[in-house]
Amino acid sequence: MIKYDYLIVGAGLFGAVFAHEATKKGKKCLVIDKRDHIAGNIYTEKVEGINVHKYGAHIFHTSNKTVWDYINQFADFNNYINSPVAIYKDELYNLPFNMNTFSKLWNIKTPKEAKDIIEKQRKEAAITEPKNLEEQALSLVGRDVYEKLIKGYTEKQWGRACTDLPSFIIKRLPLRFTYDNNYFNDRYQGIPIGGYTQIVEKLLEGSEVLLSTDFFEFKEGHPDIAERIVFTGMIDEYFEFKLGNLEYRTVRFENEILDEENFQGNAVVNYTEREVPYTRIIEHKHFEFAKDENGNSIPKTVISREYSTEWKPGIEPYYPVNNDRNSDLYNKYKELADKEENVIFGGRLGHYKYYDMDKVIEAALECVSSELK
Ligand code: FAD
Ligand code: UDP
């Protein structure tokens, strides 16, 4: 029996924005998630008075004012600016690649000196049209930055040689010749005060939500529960992997509560050498300036070491690996998806795209508005 207009698979950001907008238009939505909590990968939970980003550090940043205004309806944002530091062996560098990085690396002061060194290294690399991440990195920042700050980190993060990765991944990082450690170029940036989960809670008001419910089991008993389905899980899993597996990277988090006030002095510290097995350490309290909600300091701290691994069935997929093989395979699944009547695919896993949160909101708003026009 049809009871809902939409069955939304996934209580992450895409599913929740879709549900919110559809509910506002008078549609009845049932949202299911196989996890035992809402919010998908942006889920945050309080530990020792600190909002812990359970599935990895999430910094909201966007240049899209509509998206910024949209998300600000559901939380107040603080003025956090992401400025990670990178540790390579016993050397410490500022990120993204900027004058602080270059000055430390080459003991220079001016943008001209930095540009001259990079230009010389670029010429030595002699790359005209970068075909992969390594060539892209060498032609953007030269060999020193590539060897110390990119190669080891990227190969740990993606489990593949930099020559087998698409160049767009490295273009996510700004390169500047100013003393500016802001990791993003976007106009708006911050962390929601009190965490992300409350945002999704508010987005889901008015929808029915069933947790610990896997779609593939649920649909057996409820084949006709809704007119339409919004599916934000893995697109290849939806089609029972019949054309082959898309590859994903996942992250294992090793969390520790420490009896000290300040472990590393920054929210994000990257370990860029290959030999250190984790990619970065997150110290969550620094996302909210190390204060609790009443503005008091917190005696303990929570840290997470991130270990990147290849996805296997049974664990959470995080990053699509958008190389040629997977992009071709995705396009084939997309053809099947386009023929699937009454099912809309969305989100990072449904679109197999390295979406940031703002892009997910944009995509969900666009999707719901074309659906309900
Ligand atoms: P998800 O959050 O993955 O939600 C999909 C939901 O569907 C999940 O809850 C899942 O359990 C559920 N689901 C899947 N299959 C089924 C099924 N068969 N049955 C029922 N439920 C199912 N973005 C930024 O803007 N800034 C950042 O700093 C940032 N950092 C990140 C760090 C990490 C480690 C990762 C992995 C991502 C980061 N992102 C960041 C991206 C951000 O997490 C995503 O853009 C966003 O969470 C995607 O939302 P979504 O709804 O598409 O996917
Ligand atoms: N990267 C790097 N060194 C760093 C940080 C990032 O080489 O210290 C590269 C790496 O390939 C990574 C990409 O830049 O996958 C994008 O980094 P970002 O911080 O955007 O990754 P995310 O937060 O999505 O994990």
- Domains of the chain and any CATH numbers: 4-55+192-244+321-371 (3.40.50.720), 85-170 (no CATH)
Catalytic residue selected from 91, 172, 205, 224 = 172
Which pLDDT score is estimated for 171? 87
Average pLDDT of 35-54?
Answer: 97
Nearest CA, atom 2, ligand 2 = 150
From 41, 145, 170, the mutation candidate for ligand 2 (largest count of ligand atoms within 8 A of CB) is: 170
172 is catalytic: yes
pLDDT number for residue 172: 85
Q: How far is the CA of 55 from the centre of ligand 2 (A)?
A: 16
**What confidence tens digit (pLDDT) does each residue in 139-185 have?**
999 999 999 999 999 999 999 999 999 998 998 899 999 999 999 99
Please state, in angstroms and rounded to a whole number, the distance separating the CA atoms of residues 86 and 92.
6
Please spell the DSSP secondary structure of 200-253, one letter per residue: HHHHTTTSEEE-S--HHHHHHH-TTSEEEEEE-S-HHHHTTTTT-PPPEEEEEE
Give 8's strand partners: 31, 230
Confirm or reject: Cβ of 149 under 6 Å from ligand 2: yes
Q: What values do phi and psi take at 302, rounded to 5?
A: -120, 130
Is residue 280 flagged as an active site residue?
yes
Contact 86, 181 (CB under 8 A): no
Query: Residue 204's pLDDT is what?
Result: 98
Region of 271 on the Ramachandran plot (φ > 0 left; ψ -120 to 50 alpha; else beta): beta
Any atom of ligand 2 within 6 Å of the Cβ of 86: yes
> What's residue 369's pLDDT?
97
pLDDT at 314: 86
Assigned token pair, 368: 């719901």
pLDDT for 297-323, tens place per residue?
999 999 999 999 999 988 889 999 988
pLDDT category of residue 83 using cuts at 50, 70 and 90: very high
- How much of the chain exceeds pLDDT 90, in percent? 95
For residue 2, pLDDT over 90 is answered with no
Q: What is the tens place of the pLDDT at every residue in 228-251?
A: 999 999 999 999 999 999 999 999
Q: Is the pLDDT of residue 347 over 90?
A: yes
pTM > 0.85: yes
**Residue 180 class from Cβ within 10 Å (0-12 exposed, 13-18 middle, 19+ buried)?**
middle
Q: In the predicted model, what is the mean pLDDT of residues 126-151?
A: 95
